[in-house]
Amino acid sequence: SNDGHPFAVGDKVYGLGFDMLRSKSLVSIDSIAKLPLGLSFEAASALPMVFLTVLFALKEQAGLKEGDRILIHSAAGGVGSAAVQYAQFV
């Protein structure tokens, strides 16, 4: 049994939490996700910060909402591609 959550013992996960520079850490289940196949731990470690940067910039600072238009330069990079995803989500 998974106790109602999507993870099993041995699943590779990544996420965001405090005091993470250690081999083991206790984090909220809401702050982790399964590691996508083919994505390295190193690449996954950057994802939370990339998306938090976009959320802060486009949601908190710019107030991007449905119907708004946005020009995203360098959309092929990490933050740029996350910005495109967020803009499409809004």
Between the CA atoms of 90, 42, 49 and 78, what dihedral angle is there, to the nearest 10 degrees?
-50
Burial class (CB in 10 A: 0-12, 13-18, 19+), 74: exposed
**Which among 9, 33, 28, 10 has a CA at the least distance from the CA of 18?**
28
pLDDT digits (tens, 9 = 90+) for 1-31: 567 778 899 999 988 888 778 888 888 888 8
pLDDT digits (tens, 9 = 90+) for 44-90: 888 888 999 999 999 999 999 999 999 999 899 889 999 999 999 99
Name the strand (E) or helix (H) holding 83.
helix 78-89
Rounded Cα gap, residues 87 and 54, in angstroms? 10
